[in-house]
Each structure stands twice: as C-alpha cells, then as structure tokens.
C-alpha cells in the first residue's frame, strides 16, 4: 500500500465473492462459466484437478507463492508513481554512449504507446507484417546511408554487444588473417570494451587496447580486426583513414563504432575504408530508459552479408509479382544453423529500431543535419568558453563531447554541476566529460561553464557557437557524401502526414490488438495498459544509466523488488535482470557455469549437452560461451532419450559442463523424469541449465530452482507481459542457485576482469521496460499468477481436445494431457493431400488469424499456445477456422480440387486478388476472401499475397526499393 492510499479502498469490497478490481479477472480471458465449459470438454472438475493431473507430482511445489497480495490497477499505478518520485531527473550530459533526445510526441503516442505496434510479433509471417517490415527496412536504409556500407541488419541488442558481435564477425569473415588479435582503440566506450573482453575470454582470443594515434606498429602479432570508436569516448573526432589503411595493409578487417547523429557531419566509415560499422540508434528519439532498451545497428561491406548476425529485412515479390518484404537469409540464423549460426541473437530491438527509423523519416536528412549542427555548436561553444577560462581540453575536435582536464578537481566540478541539476561524466580523478545533445540549450551551457569557473576560481564567460573558433571537425573528415536520399525520408514533414504513415503501416499488420497470436513457445499474452503506462514517465524514461545512485533510488528499488519476486517464483536464490533477451540470458547463465567450473579447477569441462528438440539459441549460446555442443536424441514419446543421455555422458566423462533443457520441453509436455535427467548430469559433475521460456506452464505450480536446475533464464517478454514489439525489446533475466551467484553478470562500466562477466552495456540492461513485469506481478499476486498458469493449461488442453479429430496432438504427457501448448501434427495430412503446414499457416490469414509456430520443434507441425489471456469466444473462432481448413484439406485429399488450384495453396488472398475482373480460380471469390464464418464487417485483408522467400534471397535487396516499383 502506498502512503497516501485511502484507508478504505473500493478494492476491499467484494462483489459475488470476487474482490472488486481484481485484475486477474481482466488478465485471464475465460471467466468462471467459460472455464467450467472448457473443463467439461477436457474432462476435469476444476482447474486444480487439471493441474494435479497434468503436472508430475515429483516436481510440484509444495507451498503457495510467497508474494505480496494483489493490488488493483489504481493501486499499482500509485505505487509506481511513488517509486518514480524517488528518482531524480536531471540535465543528462554524461554521454558515453547515451544522450538525451526528444521523442517526437507523434512517435511516442503512435508507436511506443500504440498496441498496434508494440503487441506485434517478430515478422516471420511476412504477409501480415508488411508494415513493420517496411519500418525496419527504413531503419536498414538509414543505417546504410549514414555509415556508407551497403548491408545493415534490423537491429542488435545494444552498442556493447554489437561491438562484440563485430569482433566475432571479423573473426568469421576475415579470409586473409584467420587467427590473431582484435586490436581496440583506447577511445572505445568502457562498457563496450568490457563486454568484448568478457566474450573473448570464453572464446580464447586476444583483445589488445592500443592508442591508434601512434599507428599499429606497436603491436607486432597477427591482427584479425581493428575496432575504432568515432567520435572517441573523450569526444574527439579523428581522421581515421590512415589507421584504417594501415590495418587493411596487414590483412585486418576494420570496424568503426560510430555515433549515428555525428555521421551527418562526419564522413561515412564505409567511405573511409571500414568493413563494418556498429553503434547505437538510441539518440534518434529513443528515451534514455536508464540504459535500455535501445536499438544497436550493424552494417557491413558488400559480399559479407552471409556472415552478418541478427535479422535482415529484404525485398522479394508476392504471387502477383508485386514487391513485398520478408526476413532474408534466415539460413544464417540459429533456427536453422544452430551451433553454426552467425550469432545467438533471436529477439532484437525491433520496436526501438522502428522509433529510430521514424525519427529519421520525420526529420529527414536536413532536419537531422540541423540537429547535429546545433549539438555540435553547443560543444564548440562549451570548448571555447572553457578554454577561454584557461582550462586545458583533452582535444580540440569535438562533435558533441568536450573532455576537460582538471587535475584532482574532477569530482568537485561534477558535484558543482549536480547542484545545478546537471549530470557530467567523471572521467577518472582528473578529467570531466560533457556531452551536448538535442535537448541542450544555451542556458545549460552557461550553467556548465559557471560550474567549472566557480569551483575552480576562474574568470570566464560564455563564448557563443558563432564566435567559437578552433574547435572544428577536422576538414579531412567532414561529410561530403549524401544520405537519406530515398523519397521516404523526404515526404513526411507534417504531423498529419507522419500520423497517417504510421497508421497506414500498422493497419497492414496483425498484432494482438486484432487477433490471438497462438504462437507456441512465444506466449503472446495480454500486455495490459496499466502495466505499460509508467514506462514513458520522465522519472523512469529520462534517467541516464550512469546517473549517480542517489538519483536512481526508485529505479533500483523497483529492480531489486522484481528480482526478488522472480527468485521467489522460480525457486532460485538470486536473479540478475541484466540480459536484454532470452539469448543473452542463456549466454550469461552458461558463462556463470563456465566460471564456476574454472573456479573449481575444472578447466576440462567444455561439453554442453543439448536435446535435439532445443531452441536454436541454446546451441548458438553454448558456442559463444566457449562450449562444445553434443546433441542428445529425442525418444519416441518426445522426452529426452535416456539411453542416449547415458551414452553421451559416458562418452564425455569428466568433460560435461552442462545440459540445457527446456521445461516443460519444447514438445509442450511435462517430462515426468526430469529429476532423473538432472541427477544424472549432476552425478557426472555437470550443471543443469533449464531454459525458462516455457515458465508460463510452471508459475505457481513448480519451480525449476527446486526440481534440479542450477540456472535458468526467463523471458519477461513471454511469461511476464513485456510486449514483443515486433521482434524486441526483450528481457532475459538469469536466475541461479547460490553457488552460481558470484558469477552473475556485473556492471560493464566498472568491470576490470573477474568472475562477474557482463553481457550488456548497462548494469540493468533493458531497465526501461521492467515496470511492465513489476506491475504484472503486483497486479496478480501469487494466487492470481497460479490461476493464470492453470488457465493457460486449460486453454491448451481445450484446443488439443477440440481439434483431436481433425489434427492429432503429437505429444502428450501423463494423463494424456499437454502443458501450456500443443503440437498439431499435420504430417499425415500432408502425405495424403500435399497440403503443408505452411499452407495452413497462410490460409489462417484469410480467416483473420496469425499463424501458430510453424515447423518448430518438429517439421510439418503447428505449435499452438493460446495463453490464459484469450477468452473462449476467440479460442472457438480459432478452432472453427482450423476445422474449416481441415475440410479444405479433405477436398484436396479427395481430389475435389487440385492442390495448386486450391484456396489453401493460393492463400492468403488480397483484396486486389478477389476483386480482379479476370478472376478465374477454381473456387469462388467469397470462398477465397470470406472462408467459413469470417466476418464481412471486420475483414483483415493482407496487403500482399504469398511471398517468394527463396527468390528474394537469390536476388538480395535490403534497402528501400524505388517508389515506382510499387506501381501496378
Ligand atoms: C524464445 C525462446 C528463446 C530465446 O529468447 P529470445 O528472447 O528470443 O532471445 C530461447 N529458448 C526458447 C525455448 C524460446 O522459446
């Protein structure tokens, strides 16, 4: 309860036995009578009886979740306000990779706060994702133009991990020098260096920091790659052409970590000879968020696209020959390549990349240049004023950042500025850094100058930008080349145009605000408005990750509270919320295991056992943690093959580092013998990693920390209500038992080697979205969370039972029940009719649905996870669509219609296709567009027909196509 809550609150009253304002009744879609009807079909008396039958007694938790009582939405918002009040906003001039920015309100409200954008899933089904794919293609085009490199991906997790990815990329792609060091500019951001060093240690390559001003001769060994920072952490802008040429002369590849805004004034790294550019797109309209989520970018030179990590949007054509977007070159990704993937990244930062791209669309090249020039003017004004007062600057070529030498007085100056409400960067004991940004005003610059002169007893006055001389960007590095020339960056200057563009794109997509998204393993549940509201409050959103502790009291209270709640839920001892995706949680967990073995002197333990059915990120993460993947077979019934497990353990005696298992398994069932598996691996000296992506089947019923796990990651963007954002943000907390706690990730900004290897740029990763999960737990309480799990079990078992006669469920566990998802097996139908699971996925679009998970974990199947948030009406609508599709499959099987001519194969149907006057298909227009009971009023028409993915990969185009190509 908050201090100012009234004594008798309406929530204390009850209505028909239910607490008024009980949020769990809003979160859970099916009400009591609907649940009764569903239980009847499944064959159980009550939710408790169903859970007792489904969940093996060997793993059931004995006690109810020890969480605080549930709050109403009003109460939770009041508590969040009280926490927000404990944070202090300030003028943020710390810089070091994070800069304040103005989020145009039209973008804040219509992207960040609009469920049409934030509740969308990753665009694997491209026909219903054209809007967000276009926005992400704009992002790629923007990055390509600014960096001068032809291929850019659709975001990475943060700048520090992007630098690490770039180093690994150079090690993969360099054909001239295959082994050798990664040299790193001494001007690199400290957090990037720490994350890179953490990665290099696990993989066993050298990272050597050098002062590039003295050339590369100082390092004599082989060099695979060089990483430069432009502008440097001190703010210096240097002409890097010579050092880039020198590195390339030695066979090295070159990465430039570059600030995107500065690239409007500084020549593109690609044109200076760099092979790779990485960095953060945060200052393009994305709030500081106490460290994240922010989109990082990566761009590479021609011919290197197949080694690129992360998602890549490309242009292909649909069945009518019109341009259409889809994810390109997916064969690089972990879903297919597993331990040979280009990286472990799955969820990236799509929503934030979309905001950044729209910031560029809204401002255009001229607007961005004006913003950059103003920022640069403030930096020059600052440099001239401080130099005029007699202070020594570390360099005289700033873009936005000036670093001032103040021997032994740095802390005093920073404290004086703080008194004035301004945060500066303490760069050791002898220097202070000041970064200007889009929000900086002349008055702020005057205040900063005064903080220096008053503290140090100097005379000085403000020199305006116009009068500042001698602090220019070096002539040889000034930007000459054009950028953002595509019409899309020139046609949305008015707010009306911008608003309509955003609406047009979001209307092309199917997100949770229109339909259930029954994606197995992804848990697309409600992202409640009350959970979302706090994230854009300035007291949360405008806090710099390196702000002094006394300004972040509320943030840290919220975060440690959430970590404690997650520990209580999972049965582990400690939780770190630092990893900013499930994949990074896996890496953090595996690095903890590695650190533990090394600390015990077990340096031979490098084998990671992974079941054949595991998510692709598991294998890719194991490789990044320096482990060897050994695959364990799946038994007939979908469980881990016990004989194969024994054989693999014996074959690798003394070398087992870990097993990674998903529980309930990716097959959607609770394996009854999971304790035996854990014990066998423990007996062999290994640690047990339980992938917690399926925690929605466990919360309140069983705890991985208690039934054998040593470490798990969770996906807060699955189980704990952070929206999927069209492919990110995510949060992948890592939870451990006590013995692994010393190995949880530490603060990259303060890390100097040690067991607590950081995985993200900032201490609390994607802190900005944590209020969502915090609110969810508080709103539900222990009993509500447990009921949600039971309701999720009920929904999945209901779908499985109702569809049993049409599509058999591949695996069931004890009592013939599934867990929170079910795999519908289409392989026999495909054998009989030729209709594939993909045809069914595409045909569901005509019925207005997003497809279930296709071909994972078993090819030829669809994995359905309805979640607890769907009501019975929506679940029935889905079931009816699936039954109606079964009749269409039968028509093909019985040769009533040819497969190629069938509505299944020719789905999805665009409006243009069904109104075409030359319609000559073997079925009616009505059957095409309005199959079954599809609503005439609320019809969703996909903007494109079925897309040719392979064709697009053969002829790769990954930037905005010319407008004319859309003319029909
Ligand atoms: C989603 C998922 C992951 C990866 O999580 P990301 O946040 O996308 O990196 C890992 N394992 C399983 C089983 C998953 O379903």
Per-residue pLDDT tens over the stretch 451-509: 999 999 999 999 999 999 999 999 999 999 999 999 999 999 999 999 999 999 999 99
Measured from the CB, is residue 730 less than 6 Å from ligand 1? Answer: yes
Q: Provide φ and ψ at 221, rounded to 5°.
A: -75, -175
Domain end (from 750, 768, 787):
787
Residue 586 has pLDDT above 90, yes or no: yes
Q: What is the pLDDT of residues 138-147, one digit of tens each?
A: 999 999 999 9
Q: Kindly give the distance from the C-alpha atom of residue 582 to the centroid of ligand 1, in angstroms, as a whole number.
A: 5
Q: Which residue has the tokens 């960056």?
A: 489
Q: Which of 346, 723, 819 to mutate to test the pocket of ligand 1 (most atoms within 8 A of CB)?
A: 346
Which amino acid residue places its CA nearest to atom 7 of ligand 1? 582
- Ligand 1 nearest atom to the CA of residue 715, by list position: 7
Question: pLDDT > 70: what percent of the chain?
Answer: 98
10: confidence class by pLDDT, cuts 50, 70, 90: very low
Measured from the CB, is residue 551 less than 6 Å from ligand 1? Answer: no
Q: Is residue 397 assigned to a domain?
A: yes
Helices (H) and strands (E) in the chain, counts: 29, 27
Pairing of strands 14-15, 18-19: antiparallel
Q: Is residue 597 assigned to a domain?
A: yes
Q: Kindly give the distance from the C-alpha atom of residue 763 to the centroid of ligand 1, in angstroms, as a whole number.
A: 21
Measured from the CB, is residue 620 less than 6 Å from ligand 1? Answer: no
Whether residue 616 sits in one domain with residue 473: no
Whether residue 154 sits in one domain with residue 34: no
Which amino acid residue places its CA nearest to atom 2 of ligand 1? 693
Q: Kindly give the distance from the C-alpha atom of residue 86 to the centroid of ligand 1, in angstroms, as a whole number.
A: 34
Q: Is residue 612 assigned to a domain?
A: yes
Q: Is residue 572 assigned to a domain?
A: yes
Q: Is residue 529 assigned to a domain?
A: yes
Residue 5 has pLDDT above 70, yes or no: no
Q: Kindly give the distance from the C-alpha atom of residue 714 to the centroid of ligand 1, in angstroms, as a whole number.
A: 9
Taking a C-beta distance cutoff of 8 angstroms, is the pair 369, 126 a contact?
no
Identify the DSSP state of 467.
T
Q: Which range among 408-412, 531-535, 901-905, 934-938 shows the weakest confidence by mean pLDDT?
A: 934-938
Q: Kindly give the distance from the C-alpha atom of residue 853 to the centroid of ligand 1, in angstroms, as a whole number.
A: 13
Q: Which of 668, 715, 819 to mutate to test the pocket of ligand 1 (most atoms within 8 A of CB)?
A: 715
d(CA 96, CA 291): 11
CATH of the domain at 452: 3.90.1150.10
What sign does the CA torsion over 37, 41, 42, 43 have? positive
| Interval 152-161 mean pLDDT | 98
Q: What is the pLDDT of residue 112?
A: 97
Q: Which residue has the higher pLDDT, 18 or 498?
A: 498
Q: Kindly give the distance from the C-alpha atom of residue 522 to the centroid of ligand 1, in angstroms, as a whole number.
A: 8
Measured from the CB, is residue 438 less than 6 Å from ligand 1? Answer: no
Q: What is the pLDDT of residue 19?
A: 67
Query: By C-alpha distance, which of 934, 818, 940 is closest to 885?
Result: 934
Angle at 585 between CA 579 and CA 591, to 5 degrees: 105
Whether residue 631 sits in one domain with residue 593: yes
Q: What is the pLDDT of residues 637-670, one digit of tens each?
A: 888 999 999 999 999 999 999 999 999 999 999 9
- Ligand 1 nearest atom to the CA of residue 717, by list position: 7
Q: Kindly give the distance from the C-alpha atom of residue 842 to the centroid of ligand 1, in angstroms, as a whole number.
A: 24
Q: How many domains does the chain have?
A: 3
963: confidence class by pLDDT, cuts 50, 70, 90: confident
d(CA 927, CA 904): 11
Whether residue 158 sits in one domain with residue 267: yes
Q: Kindly give the distance from the C-alpha atom of residue 583 to the centroid of ligand 1, in angstroms, as a whole number.
A: 6
Q: Which residue has the higher pLDDT, 439 or 8?
A: 439
Measured from the CB, is residue 125 less than 6 Å from ligand 1? Answer: no
Q: Domain residues for 550?
A: 21-87+106-120+517-787
Q: What is the pLDDT of residue 238?
A: 97
Which amino acid residue places its CA nearest to atom 3 of ligand 1? 582
Whether residue 271 sits in one domain with residue 150: yes
d(CA 274, CA 240): 9
Q: What is the pLDDT of residue 6?
A: 43
| Interval 319-326 mean pLDDT | 95
Q: Kindly give the distance from the C-alpha atom of residue 71 to the centroid of ligand 1, in angstroms, as a whole number.
A: 30
1: confidence class by pLDDT, cuts 50, 70, 90: very low
Measured from the CB, is residue 691 less than 6 Å from ligand 1? Answer: yes
Residue 337 has pLDDT above 90, yes or no: no
Whether residue 57 sits in one domain with residue 141: no
Query: By C-alpha distance, which of 500, 608, 497 is closest to 202?
Result: 608
- Ligand 1 nearest atom to the CA of residue 662, by list position: 13
561-571 exposure pattern, b = at least 16 Cβ within 10 A, e = fewer:
bbbebbbbbbb
d(CA 424, CA 508): 44
d(CA 483, CA 68): 54
Whether residue 180 sits in one domain with residue 135: yes
- Ligand 1 nearest atom to the CA of residue 584, by list position: 9
Measured from the CB, is residue 347 less than 6 Å from ligand 1? Answer: yes
- Ligand 1 nearest atom to the CA of residue 581, by list position: 7
Whether residue 421 sits in one domain with residue 383: yes
Q: Is residue 967 assigned to a domain?
A: no
Measured from the CB, is residue 945 less than 6 Å from ligand 1? Answer: no
Query: Does the reported pTM lie above 0.95?
Result: yes
Pairing of strands 313-317, 401-405: unpaired
| Beta-carbon-side half-sphere exposure of residue 177 (alpha carbons within 13 Å) | 19
Q: Which of 347, 694, 734, 759 to mutate to test the pocket of ligand 1 (most atoms within 8 A of CB)?
A: 347
Which amino acid residue places its CA nearest to atom 8 of ligand 1? 347
Q: Is residue 668 assigned to a domain?
A: yes
Whether residue 661 sits in one domain with residue 536: yes
Measured from the CB, is residue 607 less than 6 Å from ligand 1? Answer: no
Q: What is the pLDDT of residues 385-435, one digit of tens each?
A: 999 999 999 999 999 999 999 999 999 999 999 999 999 999 999 999 999
Q: Kindly give the distance from the C-alpha atom of residue 691 to the centroid of ligand 1, in angstroms, as a whole number.
A: 8
Please list the helix, strand and coil fractions of the chain in percent, rounded to the nearest 5, in that order. 40, 15, 45
Measured from the CB, is residue 326 less than 6 Å from ligand 1? Answer: no
Considering only the C-alpha atoms of the chain, give the largest distance between any 2 of them, rounded to a whole number of Å: 93
Measured from the CB, is residue 615 less than 6 Å from ligand 1? Answer: yes
Domain end (from 787, 817, 851):
787
Give 282: exposed, middle or buried? Use CB within 10 Å, 0-12, 13-18, 19+. Answer: buried
Which amino acid residue places its CA nearest to atom 5 of ligand 1? 582
Q: Kindly give the distance from the C-alpha atom of residue 346 to the centroid of ligand 1, in angstroms, as a whole number.
A: 7
Q: What is the pLDDT of residue 225?
A: 98
Question: pLDDT > 90: what percent of the chain?
Answer: 94
CATH of the domain at 679: 3.40.640.10
Q: How many residues does the chain have?
A: 968
Write the CB contacts of 743 (distance below 8 Å, at least 6 apart in sequence): 591, 592, 593, 595, 596, 599, 736, 755, 756, 757
Question: In Å, how far are 161, 320, 689, 933 from 943, measured between CA atoms?
Answer: 35, 11, 43, 21
Q: Kindly give the distance from the C-alpha atom of residue 311 to the centroid of ligand 1, in angstroms, as a whole number.
A: 15
Q: What is the pLDDT of residue 287?
A: 98
Whether residue 743 sits in one domain with residue 612: yes
Tell me the DSSP string of 283-351: TTT---GGG----EEEEE-TT-GGG--S--EEEEEBTTS-EEEEE--GGGSHHHHGGGSS-S--S--HH
443: confidence class by pLDDT, cuts 50, 70, 90: very high
Whether residue 151 sits in one domain with residue 39: no
Q: Kindly give the distance from the C-alpha atom of residue 779 to the centroid of ligand 1, in angstroms, as a whole number.
A: 25
Q: Kindly give the distance from the C-alpha atom of residue 581 to the centroid of ligand 1, in angstroms, as a whole number.
A: 8
Q: Kindly give the distance from the C-alpha atom of residue 618 to the centroid of ligand 1, in angstroms, as a whole number.
A: 8
Residue 2 has pLDDT above 50, yes or no: no
Order of all β-strands in the sheet with 822-825: 822-825, 861-864, 853-854
Domain end (from 744, 761, 787):
787
Measured from the CB, is residue 732 less than 6 Å from ligand 1? Answer: yes
Long-range (24+ apart) CB contacts under 8 A made by 409-418 are 409/455, 409/456, 412/455, 413/451, 413/452, 413/455, 413/456, 416/451, 416/452, 416/454, 416/455, 417/93, 417/447, 417/448, 417/451, 418/90, 418/548
Distance of CA 379 to the CA centre of its chain: 33
Give 229: exposed, middle or buried? Use CB within 10 Å, 0-12, 13-18, 19+. Answer: buried
Q: Kindly give the distance from the C-alpha atom of residue 533 to the centroid of ligand 1, in angstroms, as a whole number.
A: 26
Measured from the CB, is residue 334 less than 6 Å from ligand 1? Answer: no
Q: What is the pLDDT of residues 739-754, one digit of tens each?
A: 999 999 999 999 989 9
Q: What is the pLDDT of residues 33-76, one digit of tens each?
A: 999 999 999 999 999 999 999 999 999 999 999 999 999 999 99
Mean pLDDT value across the chain: 96
Which amino acid residue places its CA nearest to atom 4 of ligand 1? 582
Whether residue 159 sits in one domain with residue 114: no
d(CA 111, CA 429): 42
Q: Is residue 644 assigned to a domain?
A: yes
């Amino acid at each position: 309860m908050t201090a100012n809550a009234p004594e008798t609150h309406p929530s204390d009253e009850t209505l028909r036995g239910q607490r008024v304002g009980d949020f769990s009744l809003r979160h859970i879609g099916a009400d009591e009578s609907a649940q009764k009807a569903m239980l009847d079909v499944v064959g159980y008396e009550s939710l408790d009886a169903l859970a007792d039958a489904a969940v093996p007694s060997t793993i059931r938790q004995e006690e109810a979740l020890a969480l605080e009582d549930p709050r109403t939405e009003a109460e939770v918002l009041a508590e969040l306000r009280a926490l927000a009040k404990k944070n202090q906003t300030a003028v943020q001039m710390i810089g070091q990779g994070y800069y304040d920015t103005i989020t145009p309100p039209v973008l804040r409200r219509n992207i960040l706060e609009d469920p049409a954008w934030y509740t969308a899933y990753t665009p694997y089904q491209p026909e219903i994702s054209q809007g967000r794919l276009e926005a992400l293609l704009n992002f790629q085009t923007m990055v390509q133009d600014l960096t001068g490199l032809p291929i850019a991906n659709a975001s990475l997790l943060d700048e520090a991990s992007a630098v690490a990815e770039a180093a690994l990329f150079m090690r993969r792609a360099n054909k001239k020098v295959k082994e050798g060091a990664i040299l790193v500019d001494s001007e690199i951001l400290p957090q990037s260096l720490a994350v890179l060093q953490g990665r290099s240690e696990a993989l066993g390559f050298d990272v050597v920091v050098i002062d590039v001003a003295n050339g590369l001769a100082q390092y004599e060994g082989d060099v695979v790659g060089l990483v430069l920072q432009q502008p440097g952490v001190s703010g210096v802008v240097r002409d890097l052409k010579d050092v880039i040429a020198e590195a390339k002369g030695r066979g090295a590849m070159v990465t430039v970590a570059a600030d995107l805004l500065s690239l409007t004034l500084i020549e593109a790294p690609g044109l200076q000879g760099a092979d790779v550019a990485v960095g953060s797109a945060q200052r393009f309209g994305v709030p500081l968020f106490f460290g994240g989520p922010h989109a990082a970018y990566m761009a590479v030179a021609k011919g290197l696209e197949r080694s690129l990590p992360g998602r890549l949007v490309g242009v292909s054509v649909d069945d009518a020959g019109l341009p259409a977007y889809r994810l390109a070159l997916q064969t690089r990704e972990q879903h297919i390549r597993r331990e040979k993937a280009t990286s472990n990244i799955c969820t990236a930062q799509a929503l934030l990349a979309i905001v950044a791209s729209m910031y560029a669309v809204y401002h255009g090249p001229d607007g961005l240049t004006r913003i950059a020039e103003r920022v640069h003017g403030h930096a020059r004004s600052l440099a001239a004023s401080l130099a005029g007062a007699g202070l020594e600057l570390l360099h005289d070529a700033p873009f936005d950042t000036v670093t001032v030498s103040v021997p032994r007085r740095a802390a005093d100056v920073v404290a004086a500025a703080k008194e004035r409400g301004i945060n500066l960067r303490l760069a050791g004991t002898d220097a202070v850094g000041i970064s200007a940004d889009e929000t900086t005003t002349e008055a702020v610059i005057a205040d900063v100058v005064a903080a220096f002169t008053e503290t140090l007893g100097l005379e000085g006055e403000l020199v305006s930008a116009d009068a500042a001389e001698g602090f220019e960007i070096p002539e040889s590095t000034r930007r000459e080349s054009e950028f953002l020339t595509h019409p899309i960056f020139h046609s949305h200057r008015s707010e009306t145009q911008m608003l309509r563009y955003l609406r047009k794109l979001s209307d092309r997509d199917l997100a949770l605000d229109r339909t259930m998204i029954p994606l197995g393993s992804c848990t697309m549940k409600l992202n409640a408005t009350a959970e979302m509201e706090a994230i854009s409050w300035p007291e949360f959103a405008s806090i710099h990750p390196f702000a002094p502790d006394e300004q972040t009291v509320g943030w840290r209270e919220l975060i440690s509270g959430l970590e404690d709640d997650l520990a209580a839920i999972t049965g582990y001892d400690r939780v770190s919320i630092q990893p900013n995706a499930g994949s990074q949680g896996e890496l953090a967990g595996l690095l903890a295991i590695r650190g533990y073995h090394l600390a015990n002197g077990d340096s031979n333990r490098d084998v990671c056992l992974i079941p054949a059915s595991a998510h692709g990120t598991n294998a890719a993460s194991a490789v990044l943690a320096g482990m060897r993947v050994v695959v364990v077979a799946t038994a007939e019934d979908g469980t881990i093959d016990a004989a194969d497990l024994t054989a693999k353990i014996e074959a690798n005696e003394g070398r087992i580092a870990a097993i990674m298992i998903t529980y309930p398994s990716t097959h959607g069932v609770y394996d009854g013998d999971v304790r035996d598996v854990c014990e066998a691996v423990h007996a062999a000296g290994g640690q047990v990693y339980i992938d917690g992506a399926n925690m929605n089947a466990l919360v309140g019923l069983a705890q991985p920390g208690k039934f054998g796990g040593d470490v798990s990651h969770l996906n807060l963007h699955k189980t704990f209500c952070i929206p999927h954002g069209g492919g990110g943000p995510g949060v992948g907390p890592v939870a451990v038992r006590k013995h692994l706690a010393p190995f949880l990730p530490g603060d990259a900004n303060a890390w100097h080697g040690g067991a607590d290897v950081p995985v993200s740029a900032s201490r609390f990763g994607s802190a900005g979205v944590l209020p969502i999960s915090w609110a969810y737990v508080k709103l539900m309480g222990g009993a509500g969370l447990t009921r949600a799990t039971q309701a999720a079990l009920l929904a999945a078992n209901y779908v499985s039972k109702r569809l049993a006669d049409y599509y058999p469920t591949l695996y069931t566990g004890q009592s013939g029940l599934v867990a929170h998802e079910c795999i519908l097996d289409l392989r026999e139908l495909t054998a009989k009719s030729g209709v594939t699971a993909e045809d069914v996925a595409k045909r569901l679009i005509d019925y207005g649905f997003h497809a279930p998970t296709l071909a994972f974990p078993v090819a030829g199947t669809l994995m359905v996870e309805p979640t607890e948030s769907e009501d019975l009406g929506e679940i029935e609508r889905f079931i009816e669509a699936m039954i109606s599709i079964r009749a269409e499959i039968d028509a093909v099987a019985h040769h009533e219609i040819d497969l190629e001519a069938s509505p299944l194969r020719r789905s999805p149907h665009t409006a243009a296709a069904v109104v075409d006057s030359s319609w000559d298909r073997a079925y009616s227009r009505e059957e095409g567009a309005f199959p079954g009971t599809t609503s005439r009023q609320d019809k969703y028409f996909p903007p494109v027909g079925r897309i040719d993915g392979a064709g697009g990969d053969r002829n790769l185009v990954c930037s905005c196509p010319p407008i004319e190509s859309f003319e029909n």
